[in-house]
Amino acid sequence: MKFFFRILFLLCFLPNFSANADLLSATSFYNKGEYQKAINEFKRLAKLGNKDAIYNIGVMYLHGQGVKENLFNAHSWFQLAADFGVEDAKSATQLIAQKINQPQQLESGYLALNEHYGFERYQKNLLPVFNQRPFQKSNQPPRRIHTVDAKYPKSAYEKGIEGWVWLEFDIDESGAVKDVDIIDAFPDKTFNRAIYNAVRRWRYEPYRVDGKAQAFTSRSLLYHFTTFKGERYQASFADQKKEYQIKINRLIDAAEQGNALIQYYIANWMNTDEHNATRLLKFHWQQATASSDLLLASAENGFPNSQYRLGANLLRGKYTRADREKGLNWILNAAQSGFVFAQYRLARELLDKRTIQYDVDKAKRWLTMAADKGHFRSQRDLVELLLSEKNWPLAQQYLTKALQLDEEHPDLLLSQAKLKLVENDQAAAQRLVNKAITEAEQRQWSIKKLTEFLHQIS
């Protein structure tokens, strides 16, 4: 019996795209005879519901590659892959069952493995529900009431360069945008400044919970820059279509061979109809849920950016049916990979008193991990949390780090004022709060919290 890997060869990738720890890199280990590395990576991906990884582990047990040859284990892994819909796995289980004819032992081995890697577990904890029809969003974000368009960088426009920026920001009680994070962008740094300058001037309708205006954390946005509407670039695209198609075909091949990074980039490109590249990609992926399907494939492939975006979508009910538990599970996977933005988001979700996942101690640990990597919003929130716990020395330590990134940030000035009160220096505290109010007014942020605190200490 010989069953081939679901992935049989490697591709020459486009410049600037490198293989990550994904299905393709695991297959690379296999092709080079580095079986232990290959099976370790396949097992990591199997926990994420990657059906090809599950099937490949069965192949390795069947042939004794990196593990001792074991038909019982091979049967169990093939049975799992069959549950995930891998057709080749079904015939493999039948052939093995005919050869060894010990149905009870085969069943017990499968059930033991199914508990940790099975389809029902994956379906319950991770599998999102996509649909061509829009779902009713859960936890609706604030409605934007004032927009400033991002200015297309002249040099990029003249060259016909298209791309996107993925950013997150907080919205204060008045609807003002504050503390913008650029999570990722393509091409790197080409459009960052343009969208950053625009988003800081946006305004939102105040977010209300039980009728009371509250801050809204981690508003996520994937903003596209496209030349599609320009007549000049319509003509240019027609002239270059053949060259474009060659590159697009290589991208498609890489995505289908299991390159998580390229799956992620294609998912982002297909999030809009206006990119020139998107028009060609949609000839291949015509289903309405193609972008979400590719994002899921990349997440199953272990790419933390995709895991985090998928988790965030599940929390908000964006492009998928809202599911808080599954959303947090995907964000947890990204956070455990060291993705700082996922670590921060997970902490914020754990600090939500309205949810059953509320856990201050866990939130503090994730905030600390992100803060130690220099993530500003984590440092800002960790300082506030430490102050509430009266851990003055550690609060001062992280406040000093945060001030190095924004020495006039109103929230940090308020934290400084609170520490001055601990030192019984009321005059210094009042000066700092007044300075914070002035700075908040210049940034057009809410001053409500600051004025309330000033009244308390006056």
How does DSSP classify residue 3? -
**Tokens found for residue 43:** 């097992």
pTM: 0.88
What integer pLDDT is reported at residue 329 of this predicted model? 97
Q: Look at residue 230 in the predicted model and tell me its pLDDT.
A: 52
pLDDT of 391? 97
**Which pLDDT score is estimated for 122?**
96
Query: For the residues of 339-383, what is the DSSP string, one character each?
Result: -HHHHHHHHHHHT-TTSTT--HHHHHHHHHHHHHTT-HHHHHHHH
Residue 18: what pLDDT?
A: 38
Q: Which helix (H) or strand (E) holds 223?
A: strand 216-225
* Sign (positive or negative) of CA dihedral 388, 390, 392, 398: negative
Nearby residues of 108 by Cβ (< 8 Å), 6 or more positions away: none
Catalogue the E-assigned strands of 154-215.
163-171, 177-186, 203-204, 207-209, 212-214
Per this entry, what is the length of the chain? 458
Contact 323, 310 (CB under 8 A): no
* CA–CA distance, 41 with 35 (Å, rounded to integer): 10
**pLDDT at 148 (0 to 100):** 94
pLDDT computed for residue 47 by the predictor: 94
| All domains in the chain, ordered by first residue | 23-125 (1.25.40.10), 144-300 (3.30.2420.10), 338-457 (1.25.40.10)
Q: What H or E segment, with its residue span, contains residue 144?
A: strand 144-146
Nearest to 202 by CA among 144, 256, 248: 144
Please list the ranges in the chain whose pLDDT falls under 50.
1-19
Query: What Å distances lie between residue 9 and 21, 27, 253, 386, CA to CA?
Result: 16, 8, 11, 52
